[in-house]
């Protein structure tokens, strides 16, 4: 059995001004080729797929040249047509010349948005199908933030989506994809899939699966998988910051040759989500930034530390609202990681900035209205540190200010998820009472689900900026919000 392994993944915020370009996908290690593709994600989707596929002595895996996640992380807009066509063109050429294939595994995200391509993952599957032929089995793994409809599965045979947010089960879904793909190639599994769109659109900060009713929605999917052998259930929460026609929640169910059962499962899941729609959107408290910082001060005074103060809404990384309010309220002992300012970091590095230097600069802001104004910070350089991001290394310039605070300035948006991420950049978490970060839910992996933080405060500016819970403030062109709960009078099913 010869199986091709491909990766092409981005979570695109189409409302950001900076396109995601070919150059953003090109850095040491990306694109990867051959066995380097198979080694791209040892603890995630591809790692799980490769681990299980290699348990079968008759399986040969071939890594097809693939880009990693762009250097901008999730802080960039529309993927350029040139980036998409370049990488997909090379993939198809390699598949065409390297065949025949029994299977192709596509490690994708689902919320990539490409200029001129309405459904990029489905388009990738369509072209891969044309290259590998009608008999080969095509399987995809997805992030639950994917915006998907039935199109992907018209070209591909199977899809496996992470269930948890934070995304704990990428490796597991990769394993499942490998096992079912091998069975399908051998003819002992015949995928019957059903896709049902659920007209619910929600900001990602509300989609934490650690609490009800999101946990109940996922538990229901797990129950179906447990009670029906060979059934698989995908719950796409959707990603509202992509202005794409297949935005919003989506359920997929797959069975072994039983389309009626797949339909019953998908309808049940969709019906459950719809009945609980009000609770799904009301499960998380989000404070305005001013109130959130005041609550953080009160929590410090009460000894309810460590505190996470998360501006979930910052989609560019440059937002200064939280920094400005921390200064205004003189919050103490806070590590603010990070405010992005690529030009400032570059200049400070060229100037040879070092610990102890005086610092008086305008920081961040300005990339769009959601980022706010640049903020003047006066203090001392605490350190210049380097660590790994999701797509290679980056350097931070860290500035001491106020009463025991440190501001980390990074070249790109950084979503701090684990305490180890801070340690990599030279910080001891024990030195701080409060962690002011830019994350919605993923931080719970390292700050909440492990029992670290005593107080968790999610904040956003009061204006209906990009990234806030106010989706009605977005200038959608490809989405009619009134077709979705809670923005219209929607009948479902
Ligand atoms: Zn996600």
- 49-63 pLDDT, tens per residue? 999 999 999 999 999
Using the CB atoms, write b or e for 13-44: b if 16+ within 10 Å. bbbbeebbbbebbbeeebbbeeeebbebbeeb
For residue 458, give the nearest of 333, 239, 296 by alpha carbon: 296
| % of residues, the chain, pLDDT over 90 | 93
Rounded average pLDDT over 282-311: 96
Tell me how far the alpha carbon of residue 237 lies from the centroid of ligand 1, in angstroms: 9
Q: What is the pLDDT of residue 368?
A: 87
| 392-444 pLDDT per residue, tens | 678 999 999 999 999 999 998 888 999 998 999 999 999 999 999 999 899 99
Q: What are the angstrom distances between the C-alpha of 93 and each of 67, 99, 444?
A: 15, 10, 41
Tell me how far the alpha carbon of residue 10 lies from the centroid of ligand 1, in angstroms: 10
Tell me how far the alpha carbon of residue 330 lies from the centroid of ligand 1, in angstroms: 34
Tell me how far the alpha carbon of residue 22 lies from the centroid of ligand 1, in angstroms: 22
Q: What are the angstrom distances between the C-alpha of 284 and each of 281, 306, 390, 448, 455?
A: 8, 20, 27, 14, 14
User: Phi and psi (nearest 5°) for 410?
Assistant: -120, 160
Tell me how far the alpha carbon of residue 67 lies from the centroid of ligand 1, in angstroms: 18
Residue 389 has pLDDT above 80, yes or no: no
Rounded average pLDDT over 151-160: 98
Residue 390 has pLDDT above 80, yes or no: no
What is the value of pTM for the model shown? 0.93
Tell me how far the alpha carbon of residue 375 lies from the centroid of ligand 1, in angstroms: 30
Tell me how far the alpha carbon of residue 109 lies from the centroid of ligand 1, in angstroms: 8
Tell me how far the alpha carbon of residue 11 lies from the centroid of ligand 1, in angstroms: 8
Say how far apart CA 390 and CA 419 lie, in whole Å: 15
- On whether the CB atoms of residues 484 and 199 are closer than 8 A, the answer is yes
Q: What is the pLDDT of residue 393?
A: 76
Which tokens sit at 315?
Answer: 């989609």
Tell me how far the alpha carbon of residue 298 lies from the centroid of ligand 1, in angstroms: 32
Residue 294 has pLDDT above 80, yes or no: yes
Q: What is the pLDDT of residue 405?
A: 98
Tell me how far the alpha carbon of residue 328 lies from the centroid of ligand 1, in angstroms: 33
Q: What is the pLDDT of residue 109?
A: 98
More confident residue, 421 or 226: 226
Q: What is the pLDDT of residue 392?
A: 66
| 107-117 pLDDT per residue, tens | 999 999 999 99
Tell me how far the alpha carbon of residue 143 lies from the centroid of ligand 1, in angstroms: 5
Rounded average pLDDT over 196-216: 96
Say how far apart CA 88 and CA 129 lie, in whole Å: 13
Tell me how far the alpha carbon of residue 259 lies from the centroid of ligand 1, in angstroms: 28
Tell me how far the alpha carbon of residue 205 lies from the centroid of ligand 1, in angstroms: 11
Tell me how far the alpha carbon of residue 160 lies from the centroid of ligand 1, in angstroms: 14
Tell me how far the alpha carbon of residue 405 lies from the centroid of ligand 1, in angstroms: 30
For residue 236, give the nearest of 247, 223, 224 by alpha carbon: 247
Tell me how far the alpha carbon of residue 152 lies from the centroid of ligand 1, in angstroms: 18
What's the chain's average pLDDT? 95
CB-count exposure of residue 198 (10 Å: 0-12, 13-18, 19+): buried
Tell me how far the alpha carbon of residue 419 lies from the centroid of ligand 1, in angstroms: 19
Tell me how far the alpha carbon of residue 142 lies from the centroid of ligand 1, in angstroms: 9
Tell me how far the alpha carbon of residue 170 lies from the centroid of ligand 1, in angstroms: 10
Q: What is the pLDDT of residue 74?
A: 86
- Band (73; pLDDT cuts 50, 70, 90): confident
Residue 176 has pLDDT above 80, yes or no: yes
Rounded average pLDDT over 139-154: 97
Tell me how far the alpha carbon of residue 441 lies from the centroid of ligand 1, in angstroms: 9
Q: End-to-end CA distance of the chain: give it in Å, rounded.
A: 42
- On whether the CB atoms of residues 323 and 317 are closer than 8 A, the answer is no
Tell me how far the alpha carbon of residue 111 lies from the centroid of ligand 1, in angstroms: 9
Tell me how far the alpha carbon of residue 416 lies from the centroid of ligand 1, in angstroms: 14
Tell me how far the alpha carbon of residue 166 lies from the centroid of ligand 1, in angstroms: 8
Q: What is the pLDDT of residue 388?
A: 74
């Amino acid at each position: 059995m010869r199986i091709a392994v491909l990766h092409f993944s981005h979570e695109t915020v189409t409302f950001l001004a900076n396109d995601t370009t070919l150059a953003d996908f090109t850095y040491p290690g990306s694109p990867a080729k051959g066995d380097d593709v198979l080694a791209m994600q040892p603890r995630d989707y591809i790692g799980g797929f490769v681990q299980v596929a290699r348990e079968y002595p008759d399986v040969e895996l071939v890594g097809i040249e693939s880009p990693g996640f762009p250097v901008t992380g999730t802080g960039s807009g529309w993927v350029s047509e040139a980036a998409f066509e370049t990488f997909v063109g090379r993939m198809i050429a390699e598949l065409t010349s390297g065949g025949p294939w029994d299977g192709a595994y596509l490690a994708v995200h689902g919320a990539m948005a490409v200029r001129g391509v309405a459904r990029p993952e489905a388009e990738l599957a369509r072209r891969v199908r044309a290259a590998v032929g009608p008999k080969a089995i095509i399987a995809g793994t997805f992030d639950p933030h994917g915006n998907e409809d039935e199109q992907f599965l018209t070209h591909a045979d199977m899809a496996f989506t992470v269930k948890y947010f934070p995304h704990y089960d990428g490796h597991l879904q990769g394993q499942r994809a490998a096992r079912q793909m091998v069975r399908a190639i051998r003819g002992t599994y015949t995928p019957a899939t059903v896709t049902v769109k659920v007209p619910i659109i929600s900001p990602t900060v509300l989609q934490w699966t650690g609490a009800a009713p999101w946990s109940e929605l996922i538990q229901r999917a797990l129950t179906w998988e447990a009670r029906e052998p060979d059934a698989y259930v995908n719950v796409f929460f959707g990603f509202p910051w992509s202005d794409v026609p297949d935005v919003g929640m989506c359920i997929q169910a797959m069975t072994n040759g039983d389309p009626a059962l797949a339909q019953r499962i998908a309808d049940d899941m969709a019906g459950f989500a719809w009945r609980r729609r009000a609770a799904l959107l009301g499960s998380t408290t989000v404070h305005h930034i001013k109130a959130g910082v005041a609550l953080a001060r009160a929590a410090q005074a009460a000894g309810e530390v460590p505190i996470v103060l998360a501006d979930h809404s910052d989609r560019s990384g440059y937002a200064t609202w939280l920094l400005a309010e921390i200064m205004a309220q003189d919050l103490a002992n806070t590590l603010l990681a990070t405010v992005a300012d690529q030009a400032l970091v570059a200049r400070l590095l060229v100037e040879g900035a070092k610990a102890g230097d005086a610092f008086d600069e305008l920081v961040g802001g300005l990339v769009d209205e959601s980022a706010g104004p640049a903020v003047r910070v006066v203090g001392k350089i605490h350190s210049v540190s380097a660590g790994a991001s999701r797509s290679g290394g980056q350097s931070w310039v860290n500035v001491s200010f106020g009463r025991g605070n440190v501001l980390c300035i990074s070249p790109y948006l950084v979503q701090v998820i684990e305490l180890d991420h801070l340690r990599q950049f030279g910080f001891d978490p024990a030195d701080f009472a409060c962690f002011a970060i830019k994350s919605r839910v993923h931080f719970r992996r390292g700050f909440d689900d492990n029992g670290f933080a005593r107080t968790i405060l999610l904040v956003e500016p009061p204006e209906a900026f990009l990234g806030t819970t106010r989706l009605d403030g977005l200038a959608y062109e490809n989405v009619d919000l009134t077709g979705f709960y809670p923005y219209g009078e929607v009948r479902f099913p």
